[in-house]
Amino acid sequence: MGYWASMRAPELLQRLIRFNTVNPPGNEGEALSFLRGLLDEAGWQTEILAKVPERPNLVARLSGAAPGPTLALISHVDTVPADPDEWTRDPWSGEVVEGYVWGRGALDMKDQVASETAACLALAESGWRPAGGDLLLVVAADEETGAHFGAKWLCEVMPDKVRCDWVVNEGAGEMVEFGGRKFFTLSVGEKGTFRFTIRASGTAGHGSIPGVGDNALLKLAPALAALHRQPPRESTPDTDRFLERLLGHVPEDLDTALAEIREADELLADLLADPMLGVTLAPTMAKASSRENVIPSKAEIVVDCRTPPGMTGEEALERIERVIGRGEWEITFNDPVAGNRSDYGGPLAEALEEWSDMIEPGAGVLPLVMPGFSDSHWFRKAFGATVYGFCPQSAMGLAETKQLVHGANERVAVADVELMENLFTWLPPRLLGTAR
């Protein structure tokens, strides 16, 4: 075996960070060719699949001795940009300093790419093969800008290449402590993205004579002021399970439950609990006159709206209008995508609960819904697969990781990368068995 094939996940992560895969433009090809070479050498069946040659995806398969379910470990190798002037260290150095691997993508999500790949290499090199079914490794392009060349394209255009029953992806896995108990978070779904634009029209005029024009921007003032509020909170089976597991009891109402969480851990309330409890609205962009002395005849506000899994556009609009009412404007959704989810339970959930208790005796699993969006969506939509976001971390907590993802000085604890590798080495034999 070659030098890199024998490397563990932390060293592999260092190497991956040194491939600059900022998206756009992505430039994922060199990193994926490197990974493909390692997997080919270890005995995997690999393919490079691409909508356009410069935006490839790597799909690798280890087939079992008999038919059975397919477990997919998925990830993406593209990253958001990084401004070196804002960093203490080179964002593409992959340096290890005081127990941390530094660089863009260290947490989102080259750590998981490295740990899944290292685990897959170790399993194949050991001679392991599934007793039944297949183990699939999918390293995609273009997740950060919509997956049009990545997972979305794979699932819609090349479904037979990535069809699967169980999927593990990014989205959760941090350990949290609450009420004297430890939990590994696990994402069962993602909220929908129903971003919308509020537009108003008026009549242009000279800024020195306000009474002459009909100022479109002022027509949006009531809507913008109303967006200080959020729609009423709503429960779902996922929020009910989250609150009951976390609090140890069924809460009387959502406001009381959130207050109880916030009193004990404000960060956990703000980052995990509150965004789950219904539709959220955040105005993010505004546009009006192009000149400082012209009263605008057109004005618009863009609002980032996130909705619980399964909510339709009609239902979202009803929640929006509860907040802003109706006025001299029109609302248009911008490329809406309904969220989706997987039921919590079955073999994959049982295995992850078993691993959590094995690694941290007494630790539970805390299922939640992500406020953001990931490639998990496309695999649920295409195959009805059970898809969970679970990449475990215990050395770094929520307070540390959340500010570093997409931020300056992104880094991950070496101990956490080793923990991830432990899971991804243990999980396939647990679910797929071992061929005799």
Q: Report the pLDDT value the prediction gives residue 3, as an integer from 0 to 100.
A: 44
Last residue of a domain, one of 306, 333, 360: 333
Q: What percent of the chain has pLDDT over 90?
A: 96
| pLDDT mean over 325-336 | 96
241 occurs within a structural domain: yes
187 occurs within a structural domain: no
183 occurs within a structural domain: no
Residue 142 has pLDDT above 50, yes or no: yes
Contact 49, 154 (CB under 8 A): yes
Instruction: Write out pLDDT tens, residues 270-328.
Output: 999 999 999 999 999 999 999 999 999 999 999 999 999 999 999 999 999 999 999 99
Same-domain check for residues 271 and 354: no
Residue 331 has pLDDT above 90, yes or no: yes
Same-domain check for residues 201 and 281: yes
Taking each helix axis from N to C terminus, what angle separates 414-432 and 346-359, rounded to the nearest 10 degrees? 140
Residue 1 has pLDDT above 80, yes or no: no
184 occurs within a structural domain: no
Same-domain check for residues 143 and 34: yes
CATH number at residue 123: 3.40.630.10
Same-domain check for residues 161 and 219: no
Last residue of a domain, one of 301, 333, 365: 333
Same-domain check for residues 173 and 278: no
Same-domain check for residues 12 and 121: yes
Same-domain check for residues 16 and 101: yes
120 occurs within a structural domain: yes
Q: Report the pLDDT value the prediction gives residue 6, as an integer from 0 to 100.
A: 54
Range of the domain at 235: 192-333
Indicate if the alpha-carbon torsion angle 181, 187, 188, 189 is positive or negative. Answer: positive
185 occurs within a structural domain: no
Instruction: Write out pLDDT tens, residues 241-263.
Output: 999 999 998 888 999 999 999 99
Last residue of a domain, one of 309, 333, 357: 333
Q: What percent of the chain has pLDDT over 70?
A: 98
| pLDDT mean over 379-389 | 98
CATH number at residue 201: 3.30.70.360
Same-domain check for residues 406 and 427: yes
Contact 289, 295 (CB under 8 A): yes
Same-domain check for residues 314 and 407: no
Contacts of 144 (CB under 8 A, 6+ apart): 23, 76, 78, 79, 80
Structural domains in the chain (count): 2
- Report the half-sphere exposure of 378 (CA within 13 A, side-chain side): 24
Same-domain check for residues 23 and 38: yes
CA separation for the pair 320, 282 (Å, rounded): 11
Same-domain check for residues 325 and 348: no
Find out whether the peptide bond into 109 is cis, omega within 30 degrees of 0.
Answer: yes
Q: Using the 8-state DSSP alphabet, how is residue 423 labeled?
A: H
390 occurs within a structural domain: yes
Q: Report the pLDDT value the prediction gives residue 212, as an integer from 0 to 100.
A: 87
Instruction: Write out pLDDT tens, residues 55-78.
Output: 999 999 999 999 999 999 999 999
Residue 267, both tokens: 């960060």
Give the pLDDT band (50/70/90) at residue 266: very high
Same-domain check for residues 300 and 344: no
Instruction: Write out pLDDT tens, residues 213-224.
Output: 999 999 999 999
The model carries a pTM of 0.94
Mean pLDDT score of the chain: 96
Give the pLDDT band (50/70/90) at residue 101: very high
Q: Report the pLDDT value the prediction gives residue 257, as an integer from 0 to 100.
A: 96
108 occurs within a structural domain: yes
Closest CA to 93 of 84, 139, 85, 109: 84
Instruction: DSSP for 137-185, please give it.
Output: EEEES-GGGTSTTTHHHHHHHSHHHH--SEEEESS--BEEEETTEEEEE
